[in-house]
Amino acid sequence: MDAIYRFLIGPLAWISFIVFIGGVIFRLAAITRSAQKNDGVVLYYFNPKYALRSLLHWLVPFGTISMRENPIFTAVSFVFHVCVLILPFFVLGHVVLLETFWSVSWWTLPDTLAHLMTLVVILCLGYFAWRRRKLKDVQFVTDRSDFILLALVAAPFVFGFLAYQGWGSYRLMLVLHVLSAEILLMAFPFTRLIHMVFGVLTRAYTGSEFGGVRHVKDW
């Protein structure tokens, strides 16, 4: 088990980062080429002022009509994304690894807060799964891959929580935590998770078109 763990935090970690970064660059290059070839107007109408205005406005909870029409989903989504973006960078164990291998360190979350945020992430994912099964308009655009993706996102948080709590074999839970996180990282550019990148581009274009061409708000 120790040899597997060393492989996970060594060679496989590098592989996962390379696949993640390379995959994101590849997808961005592909969508840029596609826009230039099939829809050049997308690039022509891009306006940094209105793009930034739209991005900042959509970052405000309940700042848009669609958000206010779905208050529960909006609240859960905002809490989920905040926790998911903060936890990997400020959990003590991750910062210790960075300090060990790269001599880089910064402040960390208190353990109690990190555990609470982890549980929040798991509960939010449970809500997303329930929503896809129970709401008819969401069921219509849901298939098996959506549930697989939810499980893939949940796995690092579940196994990390179990490892810290000492439920089951600590070493096994730690190995599963690292492995699932690296699988998730490599899957990011090639699944719907890429929406975290493409969503910014889509919102920037929409803001440019609505603000610079139609002269109306896009929220």
Alpha helices by DSSP H, listed for the chain, are: 2-9, 11-38, 41-44, 48-58, 65-69, 71-90, 92-102, 111-134, 136-139, 144-165, 170-187, 195-208
Residue 124 has pLDDT above 70, yes or no: yes
∠197-203-207 over CA atoms, to 5°? 150
Domain assignment present for residue 219? The answer is: no
Please determine, for residue 150, whether its predicted confidence score (pLDDT) is greater than 90.
Answer: yes
- 82, HSE (Cβ side, Cα atoms, 13 Å): 13
Question: Is residue 206 a part of any domain in this protein?
Answer: yes
Give the chain's domain count.
1
pTM over 0.85: yes
| CA-based nearest residue to 189, from 67, 10, 4, 20 | 20
Question: According to the model, what pLDDT value does residue 40 have?
Answer: 65
| Whole-number pLDDT of residue 42 | 66
Instruction: Give the residue-averaged pLDDT of 83-92.
Output: 94
User: Is residue 29 in a domain?
Assistant: yes
CATH number of the domain at 49, please: 1.20.950
* pLDDT tens profile 101-117: 888 889 999 999 999 99
Mean pLDDT for 84-103 is 90
Distance CA 177, CA 166 (A): 13
Cα 43 to chain centroid distance, Å, stands at: 26
Please indicate, yes or no, if residue 88 is contained in any of the structural domains.
yes
Are the beta carbons of 66 and 206 closer than 8 angstroms?
no
Q: In terms of residue numbers, what domain contains 134? A: 2-214
